[in-house]
Amino acid sequence: MKNTPFTKKHIALGAKMAEFAGYNMPISYTGINDEHMTVRKNAGIFDVSHMGEFILKGENALDLIQRITTNDASKLTAGKAQYSCLTNETGGIVDDLLVYCIEENKVYMLVVNASNIEKDWNWISLHNTSSAEMHNISDKTCLLAIQGPNATKMLQPLTEMDILNLKYYTFTKGKFAGVDNVLISATGYTGAGGVEIYFEDRDDAADKIWDAIFKIGRPQGLKPVGLGARDTLRLEMGYCLYGNDIDDTTSPLEAGLGWITKFTKEFTARKILEQQKNNGVEKKLLGFELIEKGIPRHGYEIKDFSGAQIGIVTSGTQSPSLNKAIGMGYVRVAFAATGSEIFIKVRDKLLQAKVAKIPFS
């Protein structure tokens, strides 16, 4: 099991640790509900250094990205990022990822899911027929996410970069907490605002940045937050988790990601996805909330009134913010209209639920 540069700090803070994507990661510190509400109301810090980062460089870098991703990276200028996904030959999702434009038409950073680092690297390498320069910087890159409505206000004194006014899906680079060449972005995975901080693990940079953030943030209520609350926060927003809500068998259009699927360019399985767009899909990812008491979990069956299976739960939890059970899952399109009555099989009972709008409210 791998450690991040912050593992000892998590243990010292009393975190409950567990294996995730091959890393020893903090699941919770004071409890998922407490950490969740800290992020919603104030600010929390996540160690997400397990994520993968690839640098693609050279005159053919953009061409490669365009051929393997669904979104249109040609729209990116330096300092901007976009959400996208890699598709396989049958239209399934190899991974969802972020594309950062470091230098227009020349240098890009791809941020991929921790469990898919090797898989994505091999997939991109396979399609790198134009010999774009590729570097896997995952093992030497630290990534902290400071999320919440007060996050940027807390962090601004640590840098001369203007992070208070950093627009959504943009980033800046400079000195932070005395460390040079730090990239700070506003992409987020919680819906609570805040920033992500990328930097190279060298010259005690990890300790300097972590300690500086806590020195300035702790008196203002900043808390460390684990992957448990990260999951409940993203689920309230209806954000997909790879391996749960999307995978190699689900298409972007089925997952409600048509907005990052641009048919103005050629990419893997474009024709298949274009057919899905024109003809419609058979299943659709939706949000739902339970009307009866219970908690939906990944893998639970979704039924109609007669008890016939119409789908499967991909994510579910008791929402700390909304104080009700919510989930996401795939169902046949005929049952996907907002407000439709569905049933979730929890143990041996069919619990009444209704299709809800995402983000949940």
Distance, CA of 212 to CA of 201 (rounded, Å)? 16
How high does pLDDT run on average in the chain?
97
Fold of 7-49+139-235: Gyrase A; domain 2 (3.30.1360)
pLDDT, one tens digit per residue, over 153-181 is: 999 999 999 999 999 999 999 999 999 99
Query: Range(s) for CATH 2.40.30.110 in the chain?
Result: 282-361
pLDDT of residue 174: 98
| % the chain with pLDDT above 70 | 100
CA dist list (Å): 175 to 35, 77, 289: 29, 22, 44
pLDDT of residue 353: 98
The model's pTM = 0.96
Q: What is the CA radius of gyration of the chain?
A: 21
Give the start-end residues of each E strand in the chain: 16-20, 23-28, 44-47, 52-57, 81-87, 93-103, 107-112, 133-136, 141-147, 171-176, 179-185, 194-200, 223-224, 283-290, 301-303, 309-319, 324-332, 341-346, 349-356
Which are the contacts of 281, defined by CB distance < 8 A and separation ≥ 6?
A: 251, 253, 254, 333
Q: Give the three-state DSSP class for 224.
A: strand
pLDDT score for 33 = 98
CB 359 within 8 A of CB 236: yes
Q: Which CATH class is domain 282-361?
A: mainly beta
At 2-54, the pLDDT tens digits run 999 999 999 999 999 999 999 999 999 999 999 999 999 999 999 999 999 99
* CA 98 – CA 169 distance, rounded (Å): 9
* CATH 3.30.1360.120 residue spans of the chain: 7-49+139-235
Rounded to whole angstroms, how far apart are CA atoms 326 and 294? 10
The three-class DSSP label of residue 111 is: strand
Q: What are 238-280's pLDDT values in tens digits? A: 999 999 999 999 999 999 999 999 999 999 999 999 999 999 9
Q: Which pLDDT does position 105 carry in this prediction? A: 96
Q: What per-residue confidence (pLDDT) applies to 56?
A: 98
Residues ≥6 apart with Cβ < 8 Å to 278: none
48 half-sphere exposure, CB direction, 13 A CA radius = 29
Name the residue among 187, 188, 163 with its Cα closest to residue 173: 163
Q: How far is Cα 239 from Cα 258, in angstroms, rounded to an integer?
A: 14
> What is the per-residue pLDDT across 84-103, written as a single tens digit (0 to 9) for each?
999 999 999 999 999 999 99
Mean pLDDT of 146-158: 98
